[in-house]
Amino acid sequence: MTAFPAAALPDSNDPYVYMEEIEGPRAMAFAVAENARSLPQLQNDPRYAGLYDQALAIATAKDRITAVGFAGDGTLRNFWQDAEHVRGILRSTTLESYRTGKPQWRTILDIDALAKAEGKNWVWKEADCLAPDDRFCLLSLSDGGKDAVEVREFDIQTGQFVKGGFALPEGKHRFTWVDADTLAVATEWTKGEVTTSGYPYVIKLLKRGQALADAVEVFRGKADDGGYGVSPFALRDADGKLQALIAHRPLDTFNAEHHLIGPAGATRLPIPLRSSIQGLIDGQMILTLEEDWTARDGKSGDLLAMDLAGLKTDAATVKPVLVLRPTASQAVEQVATTRNRLIVALYDNVKGGVVSFQHGPRGWTSTKLDLPQDVSVGVASASDRDDRLILQISGFLTPSTQVLADAASGATETLRTLPARFDASKEVVEQHWAVSKDGTKVPYFLVRPKDLKFDGAAPTLLYAYGGFQVSLTPAYAATVGKLWLERGGVYAIANIRGGGEFGPRWHEAGLKLNRQRVYDDFFAVSQDLIARKITSPNKLGIMGGSNGGLLMGVALTQRPELYKAVVIQVPLFDMIGYTHIGAGASWVGEYGDPAIPAERAVIDTYSPYQNLAKGQPYPRVFLETSTKDDRVHPAHARKAAARLKELGYDYLYYENIDGGHAAAANLNETAKRQALEYTYLIQQLMD
């Protein structure tokens, strides 16, 4: 059992502390009983079956856009799920075949067949392949959707696991290829050798055929490190040759050291603790700043380049070169590299674009790609063989489009356009701004009927997240459109502080002692929807998951009079005890430490679990979690439900026995969760 600091031990006065035993008999009995009580209230609704069928049809549709990516062997690879492949298949095709619209796919690995053969509930996580040809891959497979994975080496060419190849037993591993016969691995090498939040802090080099016990240590953090544990990563040139092996050592959620691992040991790179290494292009290490770098005239949000050869020989003398400084309305959302180009997804007022940078004798020059306006643009894949990109372009009412782009010439070619999943002809998208308690203007998107009567009677669903510098950008609302908009509902997405919509500053404004700003922003958007007579408290519902689930809990306890429906997905809820529950200690950089009096005082004001009280106008809430969630522990939702029950409130609760942090282990489970949610929302807001 992991030893926790005394200040972070479970509260002996908490009557529901037994919920923290993830599969303890009492906790599981509670979950089973709550499912048996709640699910019939939703699944017996005559509308549930239709909602489930619609959600499943969208989730498993074979005419979905295939999320292909460039592989080093010149093919396009894809992980695909549908009604026949619920767990999914890894497959490949050629670009020429893909362009035809009816590609000839080669199945590489069938996860459904593997799960059946091995009697396991395998959930696909990822494949980490060895450049430059990407033939040999380390496959991460999760039992039921947990973050902990089993890792096996797989040969793409033969379609077989490598006999005697690299293999790691189930754990929260961090790894990268060094060369064909060497891995850099961070894992729980010795039982209990993990941080207080359950992540590894020791990196070793593991040779092919070598026992785990014989791996050689090359870097060690500390047991009280925060974040998601130490991890190795490789910087490679466009030909796949390793140029640097780096240890990322998080001190807390956002502050981290970066160490260059060499033959003589590890040397810390002289870059700010709040900075992120994004890649390597033309010998230049690319990084983004999440804080000001005063000594180097760097500003939070900057995109910088540093000469890697210089960093290896005399790091202290290397000066960063400014590649891009976003304006106050801009944010760098994504960074990628092709063979010769640095690619930046740059957003302005939460609307996307792509800029291509080239490094030359005169420094950095840039070109903006000619793409649609007022949409989201994401880089799905970037080729190391040339300068091609695969972009995903999407708007709330505009079906997603997959575009092949040349980052050098700017040429674009549409590969796929998603068929419409709902009738959007009667809808319109608007961007509005609410004014928060401290005067800050907060944007939000609104999707509503063109002929909406502004009488406060529209059933409205408001979604938000507000944390960890995660941005909510326009995305095609397929399921929302079919299950909600077509029924006359209104949908809103709040871009509140805590997110990254305006770069690191937007995130920093809601950290720790300033956390209430995030919640005030959300209430301001809620009140703006009411003030515009779009909706009213009796017709306003809200939804959020994980950190967004915490937001929902705060909204429930601080402003229950504003809402008639609250969907609380895989939430944080007990913020006084969160550092000892699951991976909670890794998020101290976001929320603060309840063991520190000044930070505890702020957390006390908003922690939903402790602030639930009798005699409040709470609506009937819907709590969701997953037994297999080893990131945000199901104890948070369980304890919330138990406390609501104790206080005599009506509520609904669903705990998926599988599913991990996504609360769904496969497409059927995803459709079930969505149908449950929208049945609840229709009952609360439309009946």
Residue among 385, 314, 391 at smallest CA distance from 354: 391
Count the alpha carbons within 13 Å of 27 in the hemisphere toward its beta carbon.
23
| Three-state secondary structure readout of 394-414 | ECCCCCCEEEEEECCCCCEEE
Work out the angle between the directed axes of helices 547-558 and 515-531 (0-180°, nearest 10): 70
Encode 173-202: b = buried (16+ Cβ within 10 Å), e = exposed.
Answer: bbbbbbeeebbbbbbbbeeeebbbbbbbbb
Residue among 53, 42, 107 at smallest CA distance from 79: 107
Helix (H) or strand (E) run with residue 589 in it: helix 588-591
- Give catalytic residue positions: 546, 661
Under 8 Å between Cβ of 635 and 22:
yes
Q: How far apart are CA 417 and CA 399, in angstroms?
A: 7
Q: How far apart are CA 679 and CA 677, in angstroms?
A: 6
Q: How far apart are CA 328 and CA 325, in angstroms?
A: 10
Residues 6+ apart with CB under 8 A from 685: 459, 460, 461, 489, 539, 540, 541, 564, 565
Q: How far apart are CA 296 and CA 293, in angstroms?
A: 6
Helix (H) or strand (E) run with residue 516 in it: helix 515-531
Residue among 175, 153, 55 at smallest CA distance from 478: 55
Residue among 324, 630, 295, 333 at smallest CA distance from 469: 333
Residues 6+ apart with CB under 8 A from 439: none
Number of helices (H), then strands (E), belonging to the chain: the values are 14, 37
In angstroms, how far apart are the furthest CA atoms of the chain?
A: 71
Work out the angle between the directed axes of helices 667-685 and 48-60 (0-180°, nearest 10): 140
Locate 365 and state its tokens.
């020059």
List, in sequence order, every residue forming a beta bridge with 388; answer none if it has no partner.
406
